[in-house]
Amino acid sequence: MVSPFLATQPAVVPDSLLTLAKSAKTPRVAIARAGAPLPMQAAKQATDAGIMIPMFFGEQDAITAEALALDWDISPYTLHHCVGEQAAGMAAAKACGEGRADILMKGHLHTDVFMKAALNRDNGLRTGGRLVHVFHISHPTGGAPILLSDGAVNVAPDLETRQASAAICVDMLHKLGTKNPKVAFLSATESVIPAVPSSGDARSLRDWARKNIQGAEFSGPLALDLALSPQSAEIKGMTDDPVAGRADVLIVPDIVTGNTLFKAMVYMTGACAAGVVMGAKVPILLTSRADPAAGRMASVALAAIVSGS
């Protein structure tokens, strides 16, 4: 029996995201092991929309066969023949590290192989910064998006990683046109309670961010209802808080919280989630077999916007 909590409306790529992506410089996207239906479909859709120039890495026969199945002439684009997951991942990552590509995109290979290639120092993508994953989540009926970090890369992000997440999210929203984003550091309470370690972390992060990040408002600890609901903020006497009830960014304490929250928004509200890994020389796209077409398209659009800034 299908759960009644699951949304029935399909995810929709926000027009605002596509408009910004089309106005940015069209990025060259290195697709690691491209020769499979999902990465090739995503690449064709984004190329047809004018928001990427594909660079294919992988087995030539598989790539050309998938292109033929899509009735897609890929002769104008570069194709680098590589055999196996590791070779394709390394070659695509090296192209980005050497400045021959602007975005690194996961194709038909395991995530651990892909990320090892991205993190290999010989490929030149490491910058000394921390890698963090950011979801740009938009509702199908419109309205302001929510940024969520970190729901896919860092299992138990320390304070420094969450500081980097906050700074990256603020910078991303500035590039997306939000002038004074409101950032909530999540916990299960609005008070610091020793038995809830994330509450103390959230307070420390709030204090650090207020001193070190410009052009944004910060609050924490906040539970999810206080971060998003003006009614909850009013009931709990927090209407003077600069973020309560109006958060644009949710910084979570661990991957379980972030991953669960992102999937709840997607599967229960029909939200479109664009995901990108930041902190390397280029944005990194971690596509999943379960991602809907809208999520893949939105991810490319988001990466195009931040890669050209």
Looking at residue 136, its pLDDT comes to 96
| pLDDT, tens digit, 9 for 90 and up, residues 162-212 | 999 999 999 999 999 999 999 999 999 999 999 999 999 999 999 999 999
Determine which of 105-114, 130-139, 289-298 has the lowest per-residue pLDDT on average: 289-298
64-70's contacts with Cβ under 8 Å and 24+ in sequence apart are 65/35, 66/34, 66/35, 66/36, 66/37, 66/40, 67/40, 69/37, 70/40, 70/41, 70/44
For residue 299, is pLDDT > 70? yes
Distances 220 to 25, 80, 96, 171, 183 between C-alpha atoms, Å: 37, 48, 37, 19, 9
Give all strands of the β-sheet with 132-138 in edge-to-edge order.
Answer: 79-81, 53-58, 28-32, 103-106, 284-285, 272-278, 132-138, 146-149, 249-251, 182-186, 217-222
At 210, list the tokens: 């207020």
For residue 139, is pLDDT > 80? yes
As a whole-number percent, the residues of the chain with pLDDT over 70 amount to: 100
Strand partners, 194: none
Looking at residue 77, its pLDDT comes to 97
| pLDDT, tens digit, 9 for 90 and up, residues 181-191 | 999 999 999 99
User: 230 and 216 in one domain?
Assistant: yes
pLDDT band at 288 (very low <50, low <70, confident <90, very high): confident
| pLDDT, tens digit, 9 for 90 and up, residues 73-127 | 999 999 999 999 999 999 999 999 999 999 999 999 999 999 999 999 999 999 9
Averaged pLDDT score across all residues of the chain: 94
User: 82 and 208 in one domain?
Assistant: no
User: 246 and 155 in one domain?
Assistant: yes
User: 83 and 113 in one domain?
Assistant: yes
More confident residue, 287 or 113: 113
Total of domains in the chain = 2
Decide: helix, strand or coil at residue 193: coil
As a whole-number percent, the residues of the chain with pLDDT over 90 amount to: 87
For residue 279, is pLDDT > 70? yes
User: 299 and 231 in one domain?
Assistant: no
User: 184 and 267 in one domain?
Assistant: yes
User: 108 and 167 in one domain?
Assistant: no
Query: Which value, to the nearest 10 degrees, does the dihedral of the CA atoms of residues 268, 10, 63, 97 take?
Result: -60
Looking at residue 309, its pLDDT comes to 58
Q: Which domain holds residue 2?
A: 1-127+280-309
User: 107 and 21 in one domain?
Assistant: yes
Strand partners, 147: 136, 249
User: 175 and 92 in one domain?
Assistant: no
Q: What is the CATH number of the domain that holds 42?
A: 3.40.50.10950
Q: What is the CATH number of the domain that holds 193?
A: 3.40.718.10
User: 140 and 190 in one domain?
Assistant: yes
Looking at residue 11, its pLDDT comes to 87
User: 152 and 24 in one domain?
Assistant: no
User: 171 and 236 in one domain?
Assistant: yes
Are the beta carbons of 31 and 41 closer than 8 angstroms?
Answer: no
| pLDDT, tens digit, 9 for 90 and up, residues 230-262 | 999 999 999 999 999 999 999 999 999 999 999
For residue 12, is pLDDT > 80? yes
